[in-house]
Homo-oligomer: A and B are copies of this chain.
Amino acid sequence: MIVEQYFEEYEIGAARTSFGRTITETDFVVHAGHTGDFFPHHMDAVWCATQDIGQRIAHGTMIFSIGIGLTATTINPHAMSYGYDRLRFIRPVHIGDTITTITTIADKRDHPKRAGHGVVTEKVDIRNQNGETVLACEHLYLVTRRQPLA
Contact = CB atoms under 8 A, between A and B. Distances in A.
Interface of A: 1, 19-22, 24-40, 43-47, 56, 59-62, 64-66, 68-70, 72-75, 81-89, 96, 98, 129
Contacts of A65: 31, 34-35, 59, 61-62, 64-65
Which secondary structure dominates chain A's binding surface? mixed
B40 A20 contact: yes
Contact of A30 (B22, B34, B73, B88): B34
Contacts of A37: 68-69, 72
Contacts of A66: 34-36
Contact of A39 (B33, B34, B40, B72): B72
A54 to B, nearest CB: 14
